[in-house]
A and B are shown apart, each in its own frame.
Chain A
Amino acid sequence: MTSKNSHDRVPGLSVVSGNGHSDAEAQSDPAGARRASHGLDWTIFMARAQGGDRDAYRRLLDSVTPYLRSLAARSFYGRADIEDAVQDVLLTVHAIRHTYDPDRPFGPWVTAIANRRIVDCMRRHGRTRGRETSLEAEHETFAAPETNLQERASDGRVLREAVAELSPGQRDAIRLLKLEGLSLKEAAAASGMSVAALKVATHRALKSLRKKLGILEKGT
């Protein structure tokens, strides 16, 4: 359907100022004039949208969304919460768009819907927050005390220094097999050591690292 046709379907459409400003006031106040013309646009777009004009409806929703966002931002801090409220308002506007009377300004109509939906969203958030705790990074841990000592659990510098203090053969074995993750065969080819020597070097290196890092061996 063209916008002309849909406009013809709007009987009794009258020009209504969005916020009650007179024309003279609107001219002396540029921001007020912008608001008034916005309100007028919204009224015309909504009247056409009721007739099925999708283009007008898209322009209406696109231009009203920042306003709804500013209303929601007064009550919510999180970006996701604000978008949630805005989408709730848009869905309600869509569901009850036939209740809009084009003889009346669109601004107060959508503001009233927005305010009520935002209050509903706040109630819902209040109920949810009472029952839920958000999962933060510091909650991602295990019961063992060591895992909560982050500076020990992830102190790579200490490990690197301990590896550097090993004998050259043991250091190569640890680097190739444990840090770079090569197989015994690949490590043997890369280092020129035999597989058996690599195994022995790795075993001794791990034993010595444990000692250096203060980790007690099982049974000792």
Chain B
Amino acid sequence: MIATPDLIESLVADAQPVKRLRPPLARAAAWLLFAGVIVGLLAASHGLRPDLGVRLSQGSFVTGIAASALTGILAAVASFLLSLPDRSRLWLLLPAPALAVWVSTIGYGCLTSWIEIGADGIRLGDAVDCFATLVLISAPLSLAILVMLRYTALLEPVRVAVTGGLAVSAIAATALSLFHSLDATIMVLMWNLGIAALFVGSAGVLGRKMFSWVAPR
């Protein structure tokens, strides 16, 4: 083992000027802007759902979409705040109220979809289309938040990955409810939180090696 004074000397020798991170709120806003651009591009190429005007007059739909969008925004803010070492871990609870409202509307949405669609209603085509859109939205957003929060992989991977995964899920679910008639929230949540769990689980198993490509030590 190298002696601590020697280590300090080598760290000092390596002390190049660094560019400070912008405030967490500004970074969260930048990520949300990026998310907005992705969703906007998809809306332009894919088109909005035909019955959007009708659905927007329904209270439960508006509540659900507002709650999921708010969950996405608050989870992103929480994720960027939690990524800094000296911020309170209680920021984890920031998206909880919006998440609770969103989850309560998921249950309602599933129930109404089930009744509307009926036993032979769901075709494979819809689900595959849904899934493709979901991946198109989630993949760039996940990658962006992973790169932006890479340094926290050293300190607080679980909380940051959970809030980051939740932010991506909520944004993706909000976008999907604008594009698709089929309520895909459960699929979105399973996919994105599954990805987050995969990342956290692999980080636990493989340790820091896994993040070494984005977070040099």
What residues make up the interface of A, taking CB atoms closer than 8 Å to B? 1, 6, 9, 49-54, 57-58, 61-62, 65, 80, 83-84, 86-87, 90-92, 94-102, 104, 108-109, 112-113, 116-117
Instruction: Tell me, rounded to whole Å, the shortest Cβ–Cβ distance linking A29 to chain B.
Output: 24
Closest to A64 in B: B8
A-binding residues in B (CB < 8 A) = 1-2, 4, 7-9, 11-21, 23, 83-86, 151, 154-156, 215-217
Contact across chains for A84 and B1 when beta carbons are under 8 A apart: yes
Q: Do B85 and A96 touch across chains, with their CB atoms under 8 A apart?
A: yes
Q: Is the CB of A99 within 8 A of B84?
A: yes
Chain A residue at minimum C-beta to C-beta distance from B89: A112
Contact present for A87 and B7 (CB under 8 Å): yes
Tell me the complex Cα distance, A95–B150, Å: 11
A-B pair number, CB within 8 angstroms = 89
CA distance A80 to B18 in the complex (A): 31
Q: CB < 8 Å: which of B15, B85, B156 contacts A57? A: B15
Partner of B8, one of A1, A90, A92, A108: A90
A-B residue pairs, 5 tightest by C-beta:
A52-B17, A98-B18, A112-B85, A109-B86, A61-B8
Report whether A50 and B1 are in contact in the complex, using a CB–CB cutoff of 8 Å: no
Q: Does the CB pair B17–A94 fall under 8 Å?
A: no
- Told that A62-B8, A84-B1, A94-B15 touch, could you supply 18 new A-B pairs with CB distance under 8 A? A1-B17, A50-B17, A52-B18, A53-B15, A54-B12, A57-B12, A58-B8, A58-B12, A61-B12, A86-B4, A87-B1, A91-B7, A92-B154, A95-B217, A98-B18, A99-B83, A113-B85, A117-B155
Contact yes or no, A90 B155, CB < 8 A: no
**Whole-angstrom CA separation of A97 from B19 in the bound complex:** 9
Complex formed: what's the CA distance from A160 to B20 in Å? 75
Given contacts A80-B1, A83-B1, A83-B4, are A98 and B20 in contact (CB under 8 A)? Answer: yes
| Chain B residue, CB-CB nearest to A83 | B4
Q: Which residue of A lies closest to B19 (CB)?
A: A98
Residue of B nearest to A96 (CB): B151
A57–B18 alpha-carbon span in the complex (Å): 12
Cα-based distance from A102 to B19 in the complex (angstroms): 12
Shortest Cβ distance from B87 into A: residue: A112
Q: Is the CB of B15 within 8 A of A90?
A: no
A97 to B18, Cβ gap below 8 A?
Answer: yes
- Which listed residue, A50, A98, A108, touches B86 by the CB 8 Å rule? A108
CB distance from A100 to the nearest CB of B (A): 8
Contacts of B9 in A (CB 8 A): 58
Give the contacting residue for B23; candidates A49, A98, A101, A109; CB below 8 A: A101
Return chain A residues, CB-CB under 8 Å to B155.
92, 96, 112-113, 116-117
B151 in contact with A99 (CB, 8 Å): yes
Contacts of A116 in B (CB 8 A): 85, 155-156
